[in-house]
Chain A
């Protein structure tokens, strides 16, 4: 049995969330129980724990900008798309080795394309375009199209591995992803997901 480790958001913002809660809660809840907001409000965790099979495949995930890391279990696989969840409800969607969506983190990646990137990874190099979608502060879908190049990294980590970098430039944003490959398989990677979150690193176990 592998113990589940949850990806925790740090408590840095607790004080202000609590303040707002206390101040706004003077309104009472609506729809359901009045006052429910205060009672059920939890400023730090992403939500309800999900039940996952502890024998399911796992990945280790870390998010540098949040200073958090933890383990996620696979909860579904449909074709080459897999969905992964932490015990506290943070979600990652992979298409092959690419992150195409995140959930439960705030500045989430709504959805992204991965085909060009996946083909280039197989070939070890390539140029292609990627589209990423996010919801902005008003919950409107915003997309950015990136021109990307994937190539072998100049510095290589270990003799048994090699690294590939994917450099993407869009009208507003530039980012670089790194994939570490051993025996023809991506074993870990660092991928950019949004301005607010930065990069997410994950490694298959």
Chain B
């Protein structure tokens, strides 16, 4: 239920976050699988068969006299490791090559008894393929801090001491074309070569590695950037601080290299957990009689001190139905716990059933029914989480027809800093602007509001490029540079939003105005989200016109408009894995679908990968062939321990072009209502007591 905001790609944010998170750790083991120069578990250039701890994330920056690259790695499942890399390479073509690459490694078996761990991996499996390699690798711990690794490589990793392909697939003709597509046809083709090495944990903080590399660096040697003397590499890694690992390597007898790794795990918040003020105990009632006006006043006042806004209250017999809007808590269960304590203290003792409906922009999102007597009885019971969950009733919420704004101030504003980054332009791969954003909101009712944001740039170079889009499609995204140049001070959004419900589990949203920096128009959403179901279905229809690049009110420059929309299905698998499929029409008028696979953590972290295939051909799409990337959501509360609904969302695309482009609509229903499903609340029900 954290509400991510719409952001430009902002990898700096992520780096800063990770650094900050890491420095706070005191107890993370510095041992474990070291990361190689490519940022994956391994020796120096070569991989090993180990996995990082589940959900671990790490960023490795490696530099040598010819190359500089950074790798982001994520242990997506206990066995599957995924990585994204961006680098600047010399000697792979004439001049300098900026290249993006993806890696995957899967641990086929875990080390047990005499048998080593075994993994299969694909390095640079999409992209331009300059590092394209495949491998099988085995790793065994030998005692005395020694870990031995041996493997077989293909592609680059089959170029030193290679032997004939065992499958007879001698040809490896890599024609990457526009790049961006998996080159399955060449995997495990061409010569095969053995590699291996040893890691030695010299002491708690130091790891020494020696390897025989099967990468001959043929192209770099031919282009004169590497004096290749030996296949043997040497390296040392040092845990300088918890989560910070420094490395130095001697490559092929002539080249020095260095690396720094920052690592953290979304499962380990640096704050140790929630530090919000202790709640009061459950009480046995307050007011002597049911005077609704007086109750509304006292409950609203007491909820407000907890960061909760009362928007509805009714009493019938023993039951009080209460609608509350959350402004503070990342977890619905914690907010409901806080609200229930206030109710137990303020309502007359005769009211023994609390039906609490957390509402989101005036939409009751769930209905949780609690028995006051049972709460009082188990509040000090060691099985409170389990007993409390068993006693709580989950049901579809009311329609929220007669909610009131209550004490909530209808007008709000704030000023926040922003960072907007443009990544991966080959001429200047990292550009960005820094400035101040003013946000304004006026609520007419809990579900109807007008809101907007305006940015003033303070410093930056996001617009300092003269690259002109060569796209043959409508320039729905590829002119982003023009917007950065002409709209450095501009209106980001200005919309009227109406949220509502047309059924107990049917939510609606209409947004009208300047929907996002590049498009204005109208968007309408419908979401069916049953409270106890793993499946939700959504539909969206938009009609938008392209805004002028100065990001003011005009929509004349492009004379481009499109009616678009999509149907969406969201499915929650176990362990936080989620699948989302969107199918429909995209901004450039192309038809197609997007598949998103994500892993969500119950503390608000989420990381996902997406790919979109549409009627736009690879040729018309241009470099990269189709739209893809990954999205990371990081909750503020994880870093600080202070309760907060704020989260940062970062979308990273190897390349931003016009095919498969989605409207950047704010406050999509599924984002807003995430976290109010019975599943998430049940998983985190312990925080009801916190």
Q: Which residues on A are within 8 Å of B, measured CB to CB?
A: 9, 13, 16-17, 19-39, 41-43, 46-48, 50, 75-76, 78, 81, 83, 85, 88-91, 93, 95, 100-101, 103-108, 110-113, 131, 133, 135-141, 195-197
Contact = CB atoms under 8 A, between A and B. Distances in A.
Nearest to B326: A31
B413 interface: yes
B642 A42 contact: yes
20 contacts: A16-B639, A20-B639, A24-B17, A24-B646, A26-B419, A28-B414, A29-B414, A29-B645, A30-B3, A30-B646, A32-B309, A34-B414, A38-B414, A50-B278, A75-B281, A104-B276, A106-B275, A135-B686, A137-B265, A140-B686
A83 B226 CA distance: 69
Nearest to B333: A139
A83 B327 CA distance: 27
B440 interface: yes
Nearest to A35: B414
Interface of B: 2-5, 7, 10, 12-13, 16-17, 19-21, 23-24, 27, 265-281, 305, 309, 325-327, 331, 360, 380-382, 384-386, 408-409, 412-419, 437, 439-441, 451, 453, 601-603, 634, 636, 639-642, 644-649, 683-687, 689-690
Given A24-B17, A33-B412, A140 B646 contact: no
A139 B642 contact: no
Contacts of A104: 275-278
B647 A27 contact: yes
A90 B326 CA distance: 22
Contacts of A139: 273-274, 331, 602-603, 683-684, 686-687
A140 B602 contact: yes
Nearest to B600: A138
B666 to A, nearest CB: 10
A65 to B, nearest CB: 9
Contacts of A38: 414-416
B601 A39 contact: no
B304 to A, nearest CB: 11
A111 B382 contact: yes
A141 B333 CA distance: 13
Given A26-B13, A133-B382, A140-B686, A39 B278 contact: no
A131 to B, nearest CB: 5
Contacts of A48: 277, 305
B636 A20 contact: yes
Nearest to A130: B382
A102 to B, nearest CB: 8
Contacts of B412: 32-34, 36
Given A16-B20, A26-B416, A104-B276, A31 B645 contact: yes
B275 A105 contact: yes
A31 B441 contact: no
A6 to B, nearest CB: 11
A107 B275 CA distance: 8
B687 A27 contact: no
A9 B3 CA distance: 29
A23 B408 CA distance: 27
A33 B689 CA distance: 27
Nearest to A39: B414
Nearest to A83: B281
Contacts of B277: 46-48, 50, 88-91, 103-104
Nearest to B649: A27
B276 A23 contact: no
A174 B270 CA distance: 23
Nearest to B601: A138
Given A25-B416, A30-B646, A138-B601, 11 more contacts: A16-B21, A16-B24, A21-B640, A43-B642, A50-B277, A78-B281, A85-B278, A93-B380, A106-B273, A111-B385, A140-B684
B379 to A, nearest CB: 8
A35 B413 contact: yes
B690 A103 contact: yes
A138 B602 contact: yes
A11 B646 CA distance: 23
A107 B278 contact: no
A13 to B, nearest CB: 6
A137 B266 contact: yes
B370 to A, nearest CB: 18
**The 10 A-B residue pairs with the shortest CB-CB distance in the complex, in nearest-first order:** A35-B414, A91-B278, A47-B277, A89-B277, A34-B439, A106-B272, A103-B278, A33-B412, A107-B272, A30-B3
A33 B325 CA distance: 13
Contacts of B386: 141
Contact of B7 (A27, A35, A85, A106): A27
A200 B142 CA distance: 42
B681 to A, nearest CB: 11
A90 to B, nearest CB: 6
B20 A37 contact: no
Most chain A CB atoms below 10 A, which of B269, B305, B385, B414: B414
A162 B683 CA distance: 44
Contacts of A43: 640, 642
A103 B279 contact: yes
Contacts of A112: 382
Contacts of A21: 636, 640
A48 B307 CA distance: 11
A76 B384 CA distance: 19
A88 to B, nearest CB: 7
Most chain A CB atoms below 10 A, which of B278, B409, B640, B642: B278
Contacts of B419: 23, 26
Most chain B CB atoms below 10 A, which of A23, A43, A95: A23
B419 to A, nearest CB: 6
A24 B648 contact: yes
Most chain A CB atoms below 10 A, which of B274, B327, B384: B274
Given A34-B440, A108-B273, A25 B16 contact: no
A118 to B, nearest CB: 13
A47 B643 CA distance: 10
A129 B414 CA distance: 53
Contacts of B7: 26-27
A36 B602 CA distance: 24
A33 B441 CA distance: 7
A42 B437 CA distance: 21
Contact of B384 (A16, A28, A50, A111): A111
Contacts of B268: 137
Contacts of B309: 32
A2 to B, nearest CB: 20
A133 B646 contact: no
Contact of B685 (A27, A90, A141): A141
Most chain B CB atoms below 10 A, which of A35, A37, A83, A107: A35
